[in-house]
Amino acid sequence: MDNRSEVREFLTSRRAKITPQQAGLPAGGRRRVKGLRREEVAMLAGVSVEYYARMERGSLSGTSEAVLDSLARALRLDESERAHLMDLARTAGTTRRPARRRTAQPIRPALQQLLDAMTDAPAFVRNGRLDILATNRLGKALYWPLFQDPARPVNMARYQFLDPGAEQYMTELGHQRAAAAALLRTEAGRDPYNRDLSDLIGELSTRSEDFRTLWAAHNVRLHHTGVKRFCHPAVGDLTLAFEALPVPTDPGLTLTAMSAEPGTPSADGLKLLASWAATLEGDHQPDDERGTDRGATRRP
């Protein structure tokens, strides 16, 4: 990712989303640009117009955290947008490095054991690229359609944007796609030199018009809690609440667990899914990209 263009497009897109009325400013007659003018953002952030213009041209190197905080308030950034701005500023202060591939890291046995202990809740571990790296039995059963593609690692974004079965399986596919694009944009700000991430974004941009549109919006997101809805091929409709928890000992990994409200059809569906999961053959942990045999255990 080119940091200067990322900064420029992110700040421009955020400025365009705010009306003068939202910022407490007079509309000022007819406007040639959508949202706030540069000079209005500069005034709200307490910096000169020239200084803000330099930032919006993509130059954040050397910008203090206090100025970034003021800019975040001026642009009314939410938590995820503010974190993204800080990531872009941090990257701007580093020397550009060649894109690199990430070496696949095995899931620690203790983390897999924790997943396996969660017998009543679908659970999985993913990375920032949205690769599913490990699941428990119920988690693999829930995401069974994704595992039908032999490509490894299983990738949630690739399935959502490129698999024709996604529309039937994910009943709110538009929302899921928007979330996936925003999560990938967030990860690109944190890790702009990750070649595997760049390759995925390039593939999705080439093959999916929906992804190109969502990527161009420069939206970012922190995915901590919410609701997912599925139409599972074995058990039908499921509405599941989820909690996504970063794994402190494994930076970049997130553990997601799901549950259904007691006494609902989705709770009954989860029980049916557990029975169906018991009939599935093979290991509950995804094969790695080196072609690990099913049933083999990964070791560090």
Q: What is the CATH number of the domain that holds 84?
A: 1.10.260.40
Q: Which of residues 92, 120, 136 is at a domain's end?
A: 92
Q: Is residue 232 situated within a structural domain?
A: yes
Can you say how many angstroms the Cα of residue 288 is from the centroid of all Cα atoms in its chain? 21
Tens-place pLDDT, residues 260-289: 999 999 999 999 999 999 887 544 444 443
* Among the listed residues 156, 153, 128, 123, the one whose alpha carbon sits nearest the alpha carbon of residue 139: 123
Compute the distance between CA of residue 300 and CA of residue 298 in angstroms, rounded to an integer. 7
Pairing, β 154-155 against β 131-135: antiparallel
| Region of poorest pLDDT, from 22-36, 93-107, 242-256 | 93-107
* Among the listed residues 25, 35, 64, the one whose alpha carbon sits nearest the alpha carbon of residue 47: 64
Amino acid occupying residue 198: S
Tokens of 284: 């509950």
Looking at residue 289, the DSSP 8-state letter turns out to be T
- pTM for this predicted structure: 0.87
**Are 198 and 51 found together in one domain?**
no
**Are 45 and 173 found together in one domain?**
no
Buried b (16+ CB within 10 A) or exposed e, 182-206: bbbbbbbbbbbebebbbebbebbee
Residues above pLDDT 90, as percent of the chain:
77
Contact present, 152 and 159 (Cβ < 8 Å): no
The CA angle 40-42-47, to the nearest 5 degrees, is 150
Name the residue with higher pLDDT: 96 or 187. 187
Helix (H, G, I), strand (E, B) or coil at 34: coil
Positive or negative, the Cα torsion across 64, 87, 69, 216?
Answer: positive
Q: Is residue 197 situated within a structural domain?
A: yes
Contact present, 167 and 161 (Cβ < 8 Å): no
Number of domains present in the structure of the chain: 2
**Are 262 and 189 found together in one domain?**
yes
Amino acid occupying residue 90: R
* Among the listed residues 175, 183, 197, the one whose alpha carbon sits nearest the alpha carbon of residue 100: 197
93 pLDDT more than 80: no
Q: Is residue 201 situated within a structural domain?
A: yes
What's the CATH number where 142 sits?
A: 3.30.450.180
**Are 124 and 258 found together in one domain?**
yes
Q: Residue 166 sits in which domain range? A: 109-277
Q: Which of residues 92, 117, 138 is at a domain's end?
A: 92
| Region of poorest pLDDT, from 25-34, 116-125, 161-170, 290-299 | 290-299
Tens-place pLDDT, residues 11-66: 999 999 999 988 888 876 677 778 999 999 999 999 999 999 999 999 998 899 99
Q: Which of residues 57, 92, 127 is at a domain's end?
A: 92
